[in-house]
Structure formats: structure tokens, C-alpha cells
Amino acid sequence: MRLNAVTTFQYDRKTYSCAVKQQDLHLELRVQNFKTKYILAVRQGETLGLLGRDRATARPIDISQPYFFNLIKAALGALKIAELEAEARKTDALFAELSKAVECQAEQIELLETQLQLLETEKDKLSASAQQRLGGLRSESAASDRRTRSERELVAKLQAELAAEKQKAIALETELDRAIPRVNRQEFWQQVEGELGEDTWANLDRAVRGPLFEKLLESEQQAAVIESLNCVGADIFAGSTPAADYSTAGLPLCEIVERAIVNDFFTELYRFLCDRYPERRTPSGHCELGGLKIRAAHQSGTRSAPWGNLAQLLAPNWHCLRRDALDADRPPARDVYVTARARELTERDRQIVRDCLDAWDSPIARWMQRSTLAASALDQIRQLRNRIAHPGPLHIWQYRHLRASIIGDASRRGILAQIYSASTARTLP
């Protein structure tokens, strides 16, 4: 894709220009409205762009909104079609040049064949040097014939390539006519039920099932938007920009775990400490356990409890993702896990956590009693949530790992099935 090559197109009865520009170390798609001069700038795979007349005053825009989503698809399509048309013009010029060369070769072969025929009739009368000349003409004629066949094959290949490029342009125009992808609610409901298992789905209370489904649907919808934009934009950016960022698809999955599991645990542990060990409560309102500050999720106006402390409260060691795996755009060839170890906690502190889980009548508590398994799963999800919260993309393999950790896949059960399946849980009240 040529940098700075400007193409114009029509969208929603307005005229726009678009181009791919270099911005810092990345390529950036810029779409400008001819009339207002507003520019929409976005990098491949990102779901936030900038909209304004200049970068300093531009405001962030969620490009998964239908209007901006389809505007970007139209711009990417216009650039690709322009590129295909340029390639078609080159192919046409080369085709014309080769066709002319083939005609010249054909004329030369015809002349050689005429000379050969004349010499063949007088073959017996020819001198040795003439006989040698006759052999040379035969070789030259054969070579010319081979070149002509080769060039005709090349012309045929170019014709096929030209036809293929034109078909690509037609297919792309068809793709651009499609609206923003929408996940079918009913079909996705059945998909989730199948992925979790009927017993897991049945064991979820209705009050839990609805919000859970909405978060899963939001995640699936965001993933569909990202994949759709990547499909249209892949050839435009030609792999020169950062990998697609699945953060907006991963965040709703993390919120499921944070709100339905992590926050409930810390709220229950805080209540347990306040009831059984009031001396551990400090004037600031939190409780102390092994040097850790334990708060309920709602305290001090915070929406979330300190997730980073959870794993070490459940187990003395667990498996977390390697640091280099978190930065890799594909799963590392070697093991992606490393063993993490808890800070020093007394046996009495650990017994308090175990007593809290024993007293907590919840499938979550019974699952957390499988300490290493629960600590590993929750800490890996926490690591990916932290990646979403900081600069840098959530790569597709990390998004899939996150989804499989929660929902499950063909190779393993996710934590929801581990908690709520009939073998590990009683139906919630």
C-alpha cells in the first residue's frame, strides 16, 4: 500500500478523501470530510479513533458505532479498489506490450518459415556453409517458437490475474454494502448454553444469568466488529501496523469475573473478618490479614476490590502467565506459564481464609477451596485485565485464552462451568 496516496469516495451523500499516513512508528488511516474539514484518524485493530480538525483538539471516538464503522469500511474499501484499479492499469499496459511483442515474434517466425521452405527445396544443391546456415535457421525458428509460446502463456496468465483483480474489486464492493456485524441474540444464547453446558446454565440464578449473558454478548459483538474491520483493512495496512487490539472484547469478560466472583469473595471475607475478628479492623475501615488490606468492593466509593491480592490468599503458589507471553502477539513456543509464590502469610492467616470459605454457602467458595486451580485461573484473568487497562493491544490469542478461561473451549472447562456445574455446585437460591 502506497503511503499518502489520496482517494476520494462518497458516503452518506457526502464526499470524503482518505489516505494511509505515517504517524510516529505506526500507519494510520485518515478520513477527511471535504466540507467540514474534520478528520477521523484510526489505526488498524483499534476501536477508538480521533475526530477533529487537528490532533491537538481532536476527541476520542468509538469507531464501533455504526456510522463511523461503516465510514471506515467505505474508506478502506475505496483505498483497496483504487489499488486494484492501479494494478489493473499496470496489467493492461503490460498485456498490450506483450501482445505487441508476440505479434512481432509471430511475423519473425513466419519469415523464418518462408526462408526455411525455400532452402529445403534447394537442399541438395547447397554448399556446406549453406547447409550450416539452414541448421541455424531451424534452431532460430524453434527458439522463436518457444519464446512466443512462453509469452503467450504469460499473456494468458496476466489476463487471468486481471480478471481475478476485477472480481476482488466486485467482491469488496459487495462486502462494503454489508452493515455493521450484529450477533444474533437467540443464536448466541443457544451457543453460550451449549458452551457452558445445560447443567451449568441451569444452576445459574436468573438474576445472574441475564447480566452474564449481556456481558458475553457485548464481548462477542466487539470481537465481531474488530474482526470485520481487520478483514477489510488487512491488505491496506499490509501488516505494517500493530496487531488488532481485542481489549474492548476482553473487558466485558473480565467484568464478569470481577463482579460475580472477585468482589463477592472480598465482600464475604471482609464481613467474616469484621464478625469473627473485629480486632483486625482498622480506624480507616479496612481489615488486615497477613499484611494485606481487605476491603469490601463498595468501600470508599470503589467499584472493585484489590484483585491483585486474591491469588496469594487462596494458595501459597500458583501458575501465572509469563511476562514475555503477555507482550507476544502469538503464543510463545515454550510454556506460557511460570510459578508464582505468595508473600509470607502465617498458617493462622491461611486458616482464617479457609474458615471463611467453609462458612460461605456458595458454589464460589467450594470452587475456591481447590486453591491452586482457582488461584491460577483468577490470576491469569487478572493479568489479562491489567493488560487491557494499560497501553498496548490485547492480542487475539490472549483474548481467546481469556474467553476459554471463563467460558471454556474444546480442551478445557472454564471457571463458570467449574463453579456452577452439577458436579460442583448446588442450585443458587
Q: pLDDT per residue over 210-222, tens digit each?
A: 888 888 888 888 8
The C-alpha cell at 428 is 443458587
Q: How far is CA 407 from its chain centroid? A: 18
* CA–CA separation, 152 and 99 (whole Å): 8
* Residues 67 and 77 placed together within one structural domain of the fold: no
Residue 141 lies in a domain: yes
Question: What is the arithmetic mean of pLDDT over 278-307?
Answer: 74
Residue given cell 449473558 in the structure block: 213
* CA–CA separation, 382 and 389 (whole Å): 10
* Residues 231 and 109 placed together within one structural domain of the fold: no
* Residues 115 and 258 placed together within one structural domain of the fold: no
Residue 105 lies in a domain: yes
Count of structural domains, the chain: 3
What is the reported pLDDT for 343? 76
* Residues 214 and 192 placed together within one structural domain of the fold: yes
* Residues 85 and 141 placed together within one structural domain of the fold: yes
Residue 271 lies in a domain: yes
pTM tops 0.75: no
The C-alpha cell at 186 is 437467540
Domain span including residue 14: 7-72
* Residues 104 and 60 placed together within one structural domain of the fold: no
Residue 310 lies in a domain: yes
Q: At what angle do helices 247-257 and 206-237 cross, to 10 degrees?
A: 160
Indicate whether 338 pLDDT > 60.
Answer: yes
Where is the domain boundary, 113, 145, 176? Answer: 176
How many C-beta neighbours within 10 Å does residue 364 have?
A: 21
Where is the domain boundary, 158, 176, 194? Answer: 176
* Residues 300 and 395 placed together within one structural domain of the fold: yes
Residue 253 lies in a domain: yes
* Residues 273 and 209 placed together within one structural domain of the fold: yes
* Residues 400 and 381 placed together within one structural domain of the fold: yes
* Residues 86 and 205 placed together within one structural domain of the fold: no
In sequence order, the 6+-apart residues with CB closer than 8 A to the CB of 416 are: 196, 200, 204, 212, 406, 407, 408
* Residues 207 and 276 placed together within one structural domain of the fold: yes
In sequence order, the 6+-apart residues with CB closer than 8 A to the CB of 69 are: 63, 180, 225, 228, 229
258 or 123: which leads in pLDDT: 258
115-119, 227-231, 300-304, 338-342: lowest mean pLDDT where? 300-304
Residue 1 lies in a domain: no
Indicate whether 393 pLDDT > 90.
Answer: no
* Residues 68 and 85 placed together within one structural domain of the fold: no
